[in-house]
Amino acid sequence: MSLARKKMGKSDLLFLLFSCLALSSAYPVADNGLSRIKLKKMKLDEDNWIASWLESEAGESLRSYIMKNRFLGRLRDSSEDIDIVALKNYLDAQYYGEIGIGTPPQNFTVIFDSGSSNLWVPSSKCILSVACYFHSRYKSGQSRTYQKNGKSASIKYGTGAVSGFFSNDDAIVGDLVVKNQEFIEATREPSVTFMVAKFDGILGLGFQEISVGNAVPIWYNMMNQGLVKEPVFSFWLNRNAQEEEGGEIVFGGVDPKHFKGKHTYVPVTQKGYWQFDMGDVLIGGEPTGYCADGCSAIADSGTSLLAGPTSVIAMINQAIGASGVVSQECKAVVTQYGQVIMDLLQNEVHPKKACSQIGLCTFDGTRGISMGIESVVGERSSRSSGVHSDAMCSACEMAVVWMRHQLQQNLTQERILDYVDQLCDRVPSPMGQSAVECGSLSSMPSVSFSIGDRVFELSPDEYILKVGEGPAAQCISGFMALDIPPPRGPLWILGDLFMGRYHTVFDYGNLRVGFAEAA
């Protein structure tokens, strides 16, 4: 899975919402070195019970989850002489399709995930995990091309670890037959999470640098075995919920029908995830200043929403009217230290040093870090003292970001303190949920991201997930908090909400990622 899945809490109950999805079959054909994986959209009756479910305790788990559940099926499109693997789309949040492993092929539903690098499916030797009995399981004895490997493997997620052992066999993705692919036979899965999930496994499209066991990713073998026209794959995700076609993945190139103009390309800055440098985040066209010195971002087909630092997510929540959970530490910092922080910033103290100067953080030479460890050492206080200090440091750093932004607007100190106090009410809870009024979409601002020499804008219709119809409809913010400290962060994860608006090219040959307006 992607970084978001590894770092954040997961919803074990999420998959209950999707348990009624059905699978179909496909009959792929070749297309001049391009392997097209068609994403077909399943038309669903989004009944009001879904919205009611979202109000329940289980629904809270959904709102806290950066959804990474792509389910697969395959479908023949007789109008085109191309290879098609149909990925179903549920509520613009999930796209899924089918692959085969072995000779003759054994079919599995998998997530196509650019945020991970391993291929894994359940094993017939999985007998202790209940979840395995609810999914297709790979049977090595039924494949003529199976080769024993046996090396152990474990992939950790927030809900637990998927573990098992490596095997080798032929893998079929559309019309492409990848020979001797190393993959994981999962013999243990977290029961609740995977028991009701529609997908069987995951097909990672990231770099080998993050591959468990240093296994060669299936995408690498497609290139090494000369199966694709160019070392490029691309995503088009159809966000029109009224259309059956869900989108398309092209292995070996791009489909010019699905984008407008030219792609803006940025180089991959760190191999592993498809990571690149990103500029500032804008709300309603106005820079937040948070990424003025630069941020990193990941293009992640395995994440449905957008994740970013809590400081900016709170600013976005305030601008779009999303309800958050009051942070007492945030309120305390504003009340006790707000004026002092503002004075320091006006006296041109470096923002990264402000919180250390008032004693809530310590400065390590490049950034402020929590004093939680120091507050416990040599004291008889409980561990909760350290946790409290962690929260105060984080709250102070957020306040600095907010005040710096407002000072640039030349507002009065009174208005700045009032604004920052309001932002404390918009800080996402630890579970990350945030809802908005569906009737307010027309008055919400755009949210934009500076990438390369271009600003990529998202409208409210594009960053809000609407579930259900009428009075029972629920609207959920597509922005979720994820704090990754330097040097890896600050980090943004641009998932399907972004990739649906912008056709995305993953250019392995030139180590770059490209975005163009989707068509």
Check: CB of residue 176 under 8 Å from CB of residue 218: no
Contact 68, 304 (CB under 8 A): yes
Q: Mapping DSSP to helix (H, G, I), strand (E, B) and coil, where does residue 457 land?
A: strand
Q: Which of 12, 92, 169, 300 is catalytic?
A: 300
Distance from C-alpha of 455 to C-alpha of 279, rounded to nearest angstrom: 9
Query: In which residue are the tokens 């806290």 written?
Result: 64
Do 5 and 114 form a contact (C-beta atoms < 8 A)? no
Reduced to 3 states, what is the DSSP secondary structure of residue 143?
coil
| CA–CA distance, 470 with 46 (Å, rounded to integer) | 11
The helix (H) or strand (E) run that includes residue 193 is helix 191-195
In SS3 terms, 75-128 reads as CCCCCCCCCCCCEEEECCCEEEEEEEECCCCEEEEEEEECCCCCEEEEECCCCC
Residue 346 phi, psi dihedral angles, 5° rounding: -70, -25
Is 496 marked active-site? no
In eight-state DSSP terms, residue 260 is: E
For residues 237 and 39, give the distance between their C-alpha atoms in angstroms, rounded to a whole number.
8
Backbone φ and ψ of 421, nearest 5°: -60, -40
**Residue 361 Cα distances to 227, 333, 334, 355, angstroms:** 53, 12, 15, 5
**How far does the chain reach from its first CA to its final CA, in angstroms?**
28
Of the candidates 113, 170, 390, 496, the residue annotated as catalytic is: 113
Residue 65 makes CB contacts below 8 A (sequence gap 6+) with: 8, 9, 10, 11, 14, 432
Question: 307 Cβ partners below 8 Å, 6+ apart?
Answer: 4, 8, 66, 479, 480, 481, 482, 492, 493, 495
Helix (H) / strand (E) containing 192: helix 191-195
Residue found under tokens 């959920």: 476
Q: Is 287 helix (H, G, I), strand (E, B) or coil?
A: strand
Sign of the dihedral through C-alpha 294, 295, 301, 305: negative
In order of 127, 129, 463, the CA distances from 138 in angstroms are 13, 15, 38
Q: In the structure encoding, which two tokens stand for residue 31, read together?
A: 């297309």
- Strands 454-458 and 447-451, bridge-based pairing: antiparallel
Is residue 113 part of the annotated active site? The answer reads yes
Q: Which residues are catalytic?
A: 113, 300
